[in-house]
Chains A and B, each alone.
Chain A
């Protein structure tokens, strides 16, 4: 079984690294030591498995490496050493232990980039090199971030525990933000990063793990549904030349109807818990698009309503921009333009604001102003796929 595929390797490592971290953490109570041992085991796996094949029992393989290294590392700490020597694999992961690990990685006393790097390393089993490549930053910067964060966890007394009920809302919010940012980073990344590990896979895996561990949290369900709904349509977002295809032009037969159905049912179950939140609302908006058989069938009335609810919970100029786009299809371009005008101050530096204005200006019979707005949008985006769309529009319309 030589030549193991890249994705398969990532999948197996992800499946087992977090569990190993949980077991080692339970044993040593030392976050930094457990994290180091897992990273060592993952690096060894990435060295051996591509040529030797993935072993039949990858968890036992990783465990054996970590234990050997641990016994060596902990030789001065007899209590851990004895426990580690006696530890038998497989250890059944306790769901609470997994949650503790996630909440520690995403503790609000750690800076956001460290929360992201730690979660990827400890929970998903990414190496420092993979994280650096995914975020286009220098490896030494990632390593420094992780070292500093681990030191702070120990020195500042950041606990390894599940937050109390009264803290849970805010702390869960931190975890969901980390997963959402990972997803965005992966989703928006372009072809240059095709060789790097797919962060979208990691984000979806984390969201579904969290859903398994906290099955009655509607916002976890909302985020998972949001990710699944985006992924279900990901293939149709690019044409064969790798150019971005607009929603109205996408070939909807390429959407994964099965996944869309699953996500919609998950959202309905979340709704029954009667604790609406931003992720559920965002997912519901995406579901409106995903469930429409044709572009013309899109339920824009419902979308405007959902944006109103989202703005009520989380006011933001970018959300108002998206709402204005929906308003265009319900109340016409004049009304949409009036809403955009109120956003000029907040969004003048945002390319989608100008691209949206350009479309409206053309519809309102002002092509010259439309071109100027597109040119402004082109100036403001660094994303090659979006640049190509705008360039095309400037050339042909």
Chain B
């Protein structure tokens, strides 16, 4: 007789909201008439994500392990879940924008129609849209919420796939430049599946070494046994799988291609939410599972943090496409985030965890905002993402240029923006943990990266506009809302960071 595990449905409310909305979305796709699908799908997805956000707020302060030890409901997990749900809702709003593109959507009318066929040309100019992207994105958000709460490597693996598989598909759904979009989906899929193979083999080795896949048992085994080769090898493979998702160099090769090829709202979604989810899982695995055997992972994380910061900062300099430049910027930011991961002192002391989760929130908000600005500037063939097309944009649209500058300054970490507070917090945590050489590298990398952010600002304000420049679209309500929220939050987190930093500090607890 097998006893049913204890399952607290209230603790699972965020997950139930999002997965419920995703299932309803699939039914809407099947049964609702085509004309009414778009508004209904947007509403369902928003109810799911906002419901998840609100339920995490109600759960604040919870501290327990449920579902037979498979799920952890704790401060850090809930903070990250709230971040993912909120950023996910903003991304859904970007998906729902219909007034920018002349064809009324950023997504393809029928993904199954071959590119360049007569039917494809006919559909490209029609107002038909495919609404499958909403349930797919909702499933991905559900996977991310599960990923940061998983207290069990098997659940972590399943969540990894639940978040990845829909992402592979939606990165191939761009309406314009479809060949690039499909190519991005193929590259993302093949490399993503490769990385999950590593994660799974690591899981198998850890299971062999400890006889369990629950983080609590792994911690006990690591504390008692210590130097088991299988365990260390397994940890290495697990971390490789997770670093791939977080687009940390040297596992970053897919990032620029996928960011450039996918539709810009999808890129915003991937860049913000996936990063939060992947770092949530990395933090939980390292702090909860291997927190007592830090020597096994600290040198590895130290090394990849340096590689990631340097690669992101230096290669970002050579880019001429804004979306690719932001991809390298996200690689550099992954390195800065790892600086925060290093910032956890022995025995769970230090401010590394709270600094990292605050950084994820600040970075996610700025990222969604910057990609939202990118969707506004367009030429005849979709978004004008080439750097030269942005010359003199300030004289054409001062508001767009000002918003872009704000988000770029936040990315660069200039004071009075969210990026500065976040960077300050992770660097302070790393110094407190004695990792000052890492912080020196991080400061140098920030200085190099600041050059390419500021270059865009200089280009917008001090270059003469070209005659055949891009047009700046008038955004509809969804994009306006996203821009307002992200710009306000970026400023607020920079000027009055106290309240949110305080919440992050109180939330920075993992249940073991």
Q: Are A and B physically bound partners? A: no
Residues of A within 8 A of B (CB): none
Q: Which residues of B contact A (CB under 8 A)?
A: none
